[in-house]
Chain A
Amino acid sequence: MMGYRAFLLTVFTLLILVALRFITEAEPIGFITPQFVTFVMFYVALGLAFNIFIGMTGYVDFGYVAFMALGSYAMASAINRASSLSLPGYGAIILGLVETIVLTFILALIVGGIALRLRGAYFAIATISVNEGLRFLVDGLDIWGGSAGIYVSGPLIRLVGHEAYSFIALIVSDLLLYATAFIALIITFVYLNSRIGYALKAIREDEDAAKVMGVNTTFYKVLAFSTSGILGGLIGASWALKLAAVYPPEAFNIFYTVEAIVIVMLGGAGTFLGPIVGGAVYGGLKYVLSGYIPGYQLLIFAPILIAIIVMVPQGVIGFLRERSERLREFIA
């Protein structure tokens, strides 16, 4: 099996994060609180989900946040419709997850089927316009509450009561997020060890040569794109449970896409541990800096990121992998 050591190491690291989340529940260890761990986990999950597409195919999707937004909206609207459908609270959440999967899959098929015919920068630009287009579509056509958005916490409290609400917003939402990270990791491993992984690597390295060697490039690109998109949607859906409301400027904020790219690049695209290292470094730094020097964190953050990207352009894990053949087995 390819990379199973790296896979196990990554699973282990994720389990430590989950354990840390529940250990610090009773008493924080330094600045490590459950909120901190979940904040980091959000970025780790984002990195793992995004990596399936960007890391394996080499294409950059600047519209990735659209999938997260769709997930958040699906969850929010399911909660709002729950009482009229006479669904219990958890039924609404399950409905939200199912709708997330369906909607993000449809979006991935449409965008992938069209935009994945473009290469490199052209693809990246096309995906920006998908994100912005969707945002103004929701806004202009008054879909999902238009520019005002949809409330989440209020309707959820009315649906399940205060006590159950705080359990959902804190524990259930975290568990869904962690589960998404695990699923992303397992899918990465399965893909990497099957025909799919070989096809995606060939596409990343030389798409024309891949096609001549028998790789149905469009099929595999759309497959990676939709897998990554659905997982992004699930992250958005889990996160929505914590929010007061979902509304266009925040849900479709391109900054999340940029963050996802930074995490994958920072850790090392196409590696198992990369998104975890990238997510932990990025999320951790962001949390700590915005706590100690609120408002000025970017001043310190940006130079650190630039330094890392200049010094190790292939990412931390990518750098280590190139350095040593023995390390390659464990981390890549």
Chain B
Amino acid sequence: MLEVVNVTKRFGGIVALRNVSLKVERGERIAIVGPNGSGKTTLFNVINGVYPPEEGKVIFEGADITMLPSYKRAWLGIARAFQIPRPFPNITLRESVAIGALFGSLYGKIGAREALEIADERLKLVGLYDKRNELTGKLAVPELKLLEFAKALAMKPKLLLLDEIVAGMPPSAVDYIVSLVRKISDEENIAIATLVEHVMRAVVKFAERVIVLHLGSKVLEGRPEEVLRNPLMEEIYLGKRWSL
């Protein structure tokens, strides 16, 4: 469904992504793993249309979307939940989520009323329904992360990009969110790509396939248990073993 072909992205002299290719199939869950600075966020920004790559292509459902602005990608069914929540502080939770419904893959097909209904349903799903009429600015950070997720889900996406949604959360919350995401992705056949820096617990429980980025290049790809056991992972995160 999503195909990233030989993408290279430079910022001045820094090569953030070097000839990276990957594929995501419909309904599949993948994790993109790598230490800080490995190019994970840049890759998401390229898929999402925040900036175009210098070389390579991004193909979604057979169409070349490399140069498409991000709002049009949202209409095609690509949604994103940010690592640092990007709330709309002065409006209610219900309205925030309704914005996702109105401008996501249902853009132009539904009105405000239907969008609010979708918002209610999505808020129930993540457990924020009781707070639906509160202003978003009053939420605590874990709730904001759930809201971010509800906003992205309201867009009825085919592909959901999750930036480190479990980073900085207690283990119990990680388990809860991971099982929630799995459930929704199964029920609605949504492909999910998530970025993970170091909560490997989430990776094993969640992803069907893992892609490891290091210094802008794809170095490993495979099933989570295999990839995480690969000696190269230790080297990437901790450096080379040495002995006297």
Count A-B pairs with CB separation below 8 Å: 74
**A212: which B residues are within 8 A, CB to CB?**
48, 50, 70-71, 74, 80, 82
Q: Is A202 an interface residue (CB 8 A)?
A: yes
| B79-103 at interface with A (beta carbon < 8 Å) | 79-80, 82, 86-91, 95, 98-100, 102-103
Q: Check A198/B71 contact, CB under 8 A, given A206-B88, A209-B88.
A: no
Q: Is B151 an interface residue (CB 8 A)?
A: yes
Contact (Cβ within 8 A) A198 B90: no
Contact (Cβ within 8 A) B103 A215: yes
Nearest-CB residue, chain A, relative to B161: A212
A217 and B99 alpha carbons, distance in the complex (Å)? 13
Q: Is B222 an interface residue (CB 8 A)?
A: no
Q: Is A299 an interface residue (CB 8 A)?
A: no
A156 and B48 alpha carbons, distance in the complex (Å)? 59
Dominant secondary structure of chain A at its interface with chain B: helix
Q: Is A193 an interface residue (CB 8 A)?
A: yes
Contact (Cβ within 8 A) A214 B90: no
Digit string of B182-216 for contact with A (CB within 8 Å is 1, else 0)?
Answer: 00000000000000000000000000000000000
Q: Is A201 an interface residue (CB 8 A)?
A: yes
| B133-164 at interface with A (beta carbon < 8 Å) | 133, 151, 155
Q: Is B107 an interface residue (CB 8 A)?
A: yes
Interface residues in A, total, Cβ within 8 A: 23
A215 and B70 alpha carbons, distance in the complex (Å)? 9
**A211: which B residues are within 8 A, CB to CB?**
69-71
Contact (Cβ within 8 A) B115 A198: yes
Q: Is A138 an interface residue (CB 8 A)?
A: no
Residues of chain B whose beta carbon lies under 8 Å from any beta carbon of chain A: 48, 50, 69-71, 74-75, 79-80, 82, 86-91, 95, 98-100, 102-104, 107, 111-112, 115, 133, 151, 155
In the complex, given contacts A194-B111, A205-B88, what are 12 additional A-B residue pairs having Cβ atoms less than 8 angstroms apart?
A195-B102, A198-B98, A198-B99, A198-B103, A201-B99, A212-B48, A212-B71, A213-B79, A214-B75, A214-B103, A215-B99, A217-B71
Residues of chain A whose beta carbon lies under 8 Å from any beta carbon of chain B: 2, 193-195, 197-199, 201-202, 204-206, 208-217, 325
Q: Supply 11 A–B pairs (Cβ within 8 Å), ascending by A.
A: A2-B112, A195-B102, A195-B111, A198-B115, A199-B102, A204-B90, A205-B89, A211-B69, A213-B103, A214-B71, A216-B71
